[in-house]
Each structure stands twice: as structure tokens, then as C-alpha cells.
Amino acid sequence: MIGILCCQPMCSARNRFQGKGESTMFPHPPPGDSNFEKSQTPPQIETRSPSSDRQKPIPFTFDSLVRCPVTSLVCFAAIVTSSLVWLGRWDGEPMYTDFRVWEGQLWRLATAALLHVNFFHLAFNLYWLWIFGATLERAFGSLKILGVYLLFDIGSSAAEYGLSSPGIGLSGVGYGLFGCLCVLRWKDSKFEGVLNRQIVKLFLGWFVFCWVATQAGIWNVGNEAHAAGAILGGLLGAVMVAGAWWRWLATGGLAVTFLVFLVAGYVKSPSSEELAFAAYHDLEADRNEQAVRRYEAALARNPTDADSWFNLGFVRQRTGQVEGAVDAFQRASKMRPYDQTFRRSWLDAKLSWATDQQMNGHVEDAVTLYREVLAEDKDSAFGWYNLGTAYAALNRLTEARDAFQTASRLKPDEKQFHDALESLPPGVLENK
């Protein structure tokens, strides 16, 4: 949990021009002296900053990069991490927001914003991050803008995850800066140089367009992150400009809103896709027991995911759950019967299970399993050979002979098949 940033309220234009604000004293006129009364009437104060005083966007120069180190570092980190993912050098998996945040991987709430879908997504977000963020960093300092970025980033990521699905990109931060500047601009017109009416209309129009496109199924956009960022930004702006009593109220509203967004993310049940994605990376990292648990949880939510069934079969084999592996492979194969990899994995796992049964003394059970495999794959030479060894162990020698002969026909160069035949009693071979 980061601390809530409380900046000093912005001075109004009236206080800036008068110097002492409400404490300015005016002499009392002598009784009946109307001329003195008129001469001592305080001048009318212009409440809008002259256009020459308005803040202009910070130019993108080397000097500006040095003087705005936090905004520069965020831009650089987004460019590097996104580029590595696009080039296939890294999958970015440790940075995505998902249920593992609540298992202790708290950094995911902040790092997902650095990743972007494509160049245009990145360029759009970095442009506005620099226009808005560099301005506020110069105005309030690097340490405070770091807190602002974390507030908007974590809050918007948690809200999007809790209310919709995990997302990536800095647009939540961008809308947070937009919301903050909207309030500052209303109080102090010097910020109109950075956020004029045309830009306000652009951001509002873009928000509506994204929402409509998402609802129409044309484009999937993190509208929840946009809205959450703008809300947090508006509340933070209110904290900056409000008077003493109202500032406490705005601070409380900001803290409660931020906590609501976090709770929304915490109470959300992870989707099957999230669980399967995490399980796959557990499998790759040899965290096999954890991978089994997560695949089983994913399939409890979506039992029609053939890939997850196949991967569950694979990781169950690793952990010695042979019967469970056979079941998982069989489910995957039935869902995707044209996939020969799924079918071959199912039959091989069942053959392995039969062998385990035979070695553990359950020979009749092994015979049943071998025959089930051969009913699906009559050309399995090792299936016939193993069936022959099981028949021989049961002293069913004629059936053992037939199985060994079939194996030898399928693989005539396999010496152990011929040796198995020769090991049978001569009378069995003579009656073939």
C-alpha cells in the first residue's frame, strides 16, 4: 500500500497577486469622507492568469530528460520492456497483473503498465505521459510525481482487473494525469497551456469511442483503467487545491476510492485463462505440484479446454500420477480427435500405466489395459510385445506366442521380439 500523496493546495490567482491573501488590511475612512472611501477601494483582481504566465508543455530535449528523471525513466522502461516482448526476446510474464498479486507478487500491479500491445499503443501513451507528467514533475518535484504515478498505476490496474480482466499499458496513468490537470486547470488557468479545451474534448471523446468500440466487440480496450485513473486523478487534484477542511475530505475520498479498487481486485476469482497461463509457466519452471493444482483449478472453471487437459496429463506424468495422466490425455484427445500428438500421448501413457500394473503384480489388469491400447492402435509393436509378456506370466502361452508373432511381423528387426518367441516351450511353437 503506498501512502496517499497530499500536496500543498494551489494558491489562487487572487492570493498570488495580493501576496498576503485574506490578511490584507485596509484603513478605515474618516467619517463622512466619501472621497477617501473611493480612493481606498481595493482594486478588482484578475482571477485568470495572463496567457504569458500559462504553463507550456515541456519540450522533449536532453535537458528536459535530465530535469524530469522519473517521467524519463518510466518512458525508457516502457520502451525497453515492450520492445523485448515484441522481438520475442522475453515473454514479459513476471510483469502481468493477475491473481498472483494476492499471493505476494505485489509488483505485478505496477509493472503491467509498462507493457504495450504494439508501437502505436506505446507511442500514444508515452506522448501524453510526457506532455502531462513532465509538466507536473517540474511543478511538484520528482519524488511526488513518483507517488502520483504509483497511485494511478496501481489503482487503475487493480480496478481493471477487478471489474473486467487483466490489462497492460500506461493509459490508466495517462487518464489519471488528465483528471488531475482538469481540476488544477479549473483552479489555476496557467495549466491551460498544457490542457486546453481541445485536449479535454479529445480525451473525453476518446473515452467514449473506446467504450463504444469495446461494447460493440470491435476493439477490446481497458475502459475500467481509464475511468479509474481519471477518478483518482480528479480526487488528487481536489486534494491539491482544496482548502484545509475540504482537503481532508478529498484526501479521505481518495484513500477510500483507492482501497475500493484494491478490494475489487482482491475479491475477484481468477479466470480459467489466468490459471492456465500461470500453470504453464509453473510447468516450464518445474514447479510441477503447483502446476497440477492450477491446471485442475482452471479446468474446474472451463472443462472444455483441450490444451489444458493435455498439459495436465504431461505434468501428472512428471509427478508419477500415471492413471491421472491417462485420463487427462484421453479427455484432450476426445476433444481434438484430429490431433495425433494428443492421441499418441494418450496411448503411450496408457501403455506405461499397463506396464506399471504388470510390474506391480497386477497382471490381469495389465492385460486389460494392453488390449484397450491395441484396440485403438493395432500397429503398436511394443503393445503386442508387452501383452505377450503378460500372457506368458499368466502361463497363457498360446496367446503369448500369437502376441509375440504379431510384434515380430510389425518390427522384424527387433531382436527382443524374436528372443521372446524362442524362449517359449518348443511345444507351443510347434502348434503355431
Among residues 219, 115, 213, 120, the alpha carbon closest in space to that of 166 is found at 115
Asked if pLDDT for residue 256 goes beyond 90, the answer is: yes
Q: Which three cell numbers stand for residue 395?
A: 502361463
pLDDT interval class at 14 (50, 70, 90) = very low
- 336-383 pLDDT, tens digit per residue, is 999 999 999 999 999 999 999 999 999 999 999 999 999 999 999 999
pLDDT tens column, 182-216:
999 888 878 888 899 999 999 999 999 999 999 99
- Give the C-alpha separation, 185 to 180, whole Å: 9
Average model confidence (pLDDT) across the chain: 87
Question: Please, which residues have CB within 8 angstroms of residue 212's CB and are 6 or more apart in sequence?
Answer: none
Q: Give residue-wise pLDDT tens across range 410-419.
A: 999 999 998 9
C-alpha angle 245-246-248 in degrees, rounded to nearest 5: 70
Q: How many angstroms separate the CA atoms of 387 and 377, rounded? A: 13
Mean pLDDT of the region 397-412:
93
Domains, the chain, ordered by start:
54-267 (1.20.1540.10)
The neighbour count for residue 106, using CB atoms within 10 Å, is: 12
Per-residue model confidence as pLDDT tens digits over 109-149: 999 999 999 999 999 999 999 999 999 999 999 999 999 99
3-state secondary structure 152-209: HHHHHHHHHHHHCCCCCCCHHHHHHHHHHHHHHHHHCHHHHHCCCHHHHHHHHHHHHH
pLDDT at residue 37 tops 60: no
